Structure 1
Amino acid sequence: MLKQDSHIHTPFCPHGSLDSFHSYIEKAIKKGFDSITFTEHAPLPPSFRDPTPDQDSAMKLTDLEDYLTVLDQLKKEYKGQLIVKTGLEVDYIKEYQEETSAFLDCYGPELDDGILSVHFLPAGDHYICLDFDEHAFQQLIRIYGSIERVYQSYYEQVHSSILSSLGDFKPKRIGHITLVRKFNQLFPYNMSSELCQMVALCIEETAKKGMSLDFNTSGLRKTYARSIYLDNWMIELAKKKKIPLIFGSDAHQAEDVGYAYDQFEDIMRFM
């Protein structure tokens, strides 16, 4: 089995580091990886307004061609040393599916891989980036009325993303399925049986659609998460359903490439 890190960000990320592509790649080679996929945040739908203060959730459309060109060059440069794949992490925003589908129709043929993620939740007449910081998450709790309702909204969006018709180039992997738990140490919540059933349904639909799940270790680096973005019972259910679990460090700086890969190996070996 190839040792791969399939969720890595780049200097094109407006909210990441300016570490060079080469530094990410050299770190991956040093750690013994065979393959990496750069999955920069895809440009948001043109009519969607990024709700973060600096509007820096994703790369700009004007930067996309440069991103693709750089990766084409790197594939050639590191041929024989490391498999470099071109990917994007695409935001699923239910009301903007048509624009997302049009984007994928245009740029999908140039991609080797992709992740479909939920970062934004509807909040009245606007959206909030649920993982931006603890204050944004607290605002969601106030608007929705409870932590449980925030979780419910998140998993409704995840379920919708799995079932969505985004065309032939829809990403085949669901990103960080428990991202909503990023601030769990501050806002502790044990999911109700109803919510666990919602997550189980998401996993079952993932299997039916022939999709995979992002085994995302970045939560271990987050002060208020302290866990992989997949609960053990979800991993067990995914393995039972024969859903591929794809390791992703979600690195936003070169140092984090391959982060906690040993835990991924242990879980895959023993669960």
Structure 2
Amino acid sequence: MRDGHIHTPYCPHGTLDSFRLYIEKAIDLGYKTMTFTEHAPLPESFTDPVPLKDSGMNMADVERYISELKKLQEEYQKNLELLIGFEVDYIAGYEKETERFLNEFGPQLDDSILSVHFIEGNQQWYCIDFSPDMYEAALNDLGGNDALYRAYFKALRKSIKADLGPYKPRRIGHMTLVKKFQDLFAPPEDWEEYAFEVLESIKDSNLQLDYNGAGTQKPHCKETYPPSNIAEQASAMGIPLIYGSDAHKSTGLKQGFDKINTRIVMP
């Protein structure tokens, strides 16, 4: 049992469940490997569009985050493999700041994720998974849901090709996050074509894919990121898939695992 996408008490929009609570729960669930991937601090010059400005952890906490996890690695090394990482946001135009962050802390990391949460509209930036209202605002700004899907998958392709230095994360996070509110805003009919283009880019760049269970718990999504047919296509192309609970609380560990195709995930 491997979980490559787990948040922590350092998440400003999560819970205060301790590292130890996550780890003990993981052991109870039979985990053999777990990666803590807290939301990395956003680039300093980027303005977080969510009301509380809490999409990423505080830069002042990064050293302590890593230090605490290194101590827990040693303490629990006989129980499971504990890996240290971040969920790093790819934000077009902020690549150099992201690279500087990775160059500074990358040598201390074991396993990280590169994700897209933010899309630039004509008027402003939007965090597309924050709320239905913000999603709808992005949709209207860009000129419709098809335009938003195209912008999202274009950003994913740019993240895959971006030069973020030697410590660039090797796994692409929840590649269909744009579908989080799909019951409210129907996806365009040809959205899968955009997704398959992303898979081609992932394969060409020898990256991994986060097979994320969190969407199964979202009331307007109710499926994994990516859904099963996209995940199976990725596997058929030789792309490694790593299950990720995307837990923001200890009870979220293993969420959605019963909905994934366990035959195609890496152990």
TM-score range, shorter chain: over 0.9
* Aligned mate of 2:232, from 226, 236, 247: 236
Percentage identity across aligned positions?
42
Alignment of 1:214-229 (within 5 A): 214-229=210-225
Tell me the residue number matched to 2:113. Answer: 115
Asked if 1:10 is matched to 2:34, the reply is no
- Structure 1 runs of 4+ off > 2 angstroms? 195-198, 260-269
Tell me the residue number matched to 1:166. Answer: 164
Distance 1:117 1:203 in 2: 14
Query: What amino acid sits opposite 1:204 in the alignment?
Result: E
Residues 51-98 of structure 1 show CA distances to partners (whole Å, capped at 9, x for unaligned) of 110000010110100100110011011110111110100000011001
Tell me the residue number matched to 1:182. Answer: 180
What's the TM-score, normalizing by structure 2?
A: 0.96
Distance 2:161 2:59 in 1: 26
Contact 2:211–2:244 (CA under 8 A) maintained in structure 1:
yes
Count of aligned pairs between the two proteins: 265
Distance 1:10 1:231 in 2: 25
Distance 1:135 1:35 in 2: 37
Asked if 1:268 is matched to 2:264, the reply is yes
What's the TM-score, normalizing by structure 1?
A: 0.95
Tell me the residue number matched to 2:91. Answer: 93
Residues 126-146 of structure 1 show CA distances to partners (whole Å, capped at 9, x for unaligned) of 211000000000101111121
Judging changes above 3 Å, is the alpha-carbon distance between structure 1 residues 174 and 143 closer, same or farther for their aligned structure 2 residues?
A: same
User: What secondary structure sits across from 1:215 in the alignment?
Assistant: strand
Distance 2:192 2:219 in 1: 24
* Aligned mate of 2:244, from 244, 248, 251: 248
Structure 2 alignment gaps of length 5 or more: none
Moved more, 101-110 or 243-252: 101-110
* Aligned mate of 2:192, from 190, 196, 220: 196
| Structure 1 position 191, deviation (Å) | 3.4
User: What secondary structure sits across from 2:242 in the alignment?
Assistant: strand
Contact 2:50–2:127 (CA under 8 A) maintained in structure 1:
yes
User: What secondary structure sits across from 1:94 in the alignment?
Assistant: coil
Q: CA RMSD in A?
A: 1.3
User: What secondary structure sits across from 2:35 in the alignment?
Assistant: strand
User: What secondary structure sits across from 2:13 in the alignment?
Assistant: coil
Distance 1:243 1:65 in 2: 32
Structure 1 alignment gaps of length 5 or more: none
Distance 1:191 1:162 in 2: 24
User: What secondary structure sits across from 1:43 in the alignment?
Assistant: coil
| Structure 1 position 118, deviation (Å) | 0.3
Asked if 1:106 is matched to 2:104, the reply is yes
User: What secondary structure sits across from 1:186 in the alignment?
Assistant: coil
* Aligned mate of 1:208, from 204, 207, 210: 204
* Aligned mate of 1:28, from 26, 31, 44: 26
Tell me the residue number matched to 1:54. Answer: 52
Contact 2:176–2:226 (CA under 8 A) maintained in structure 1:
yes
Distance 2:192 2:45 in 1: 34
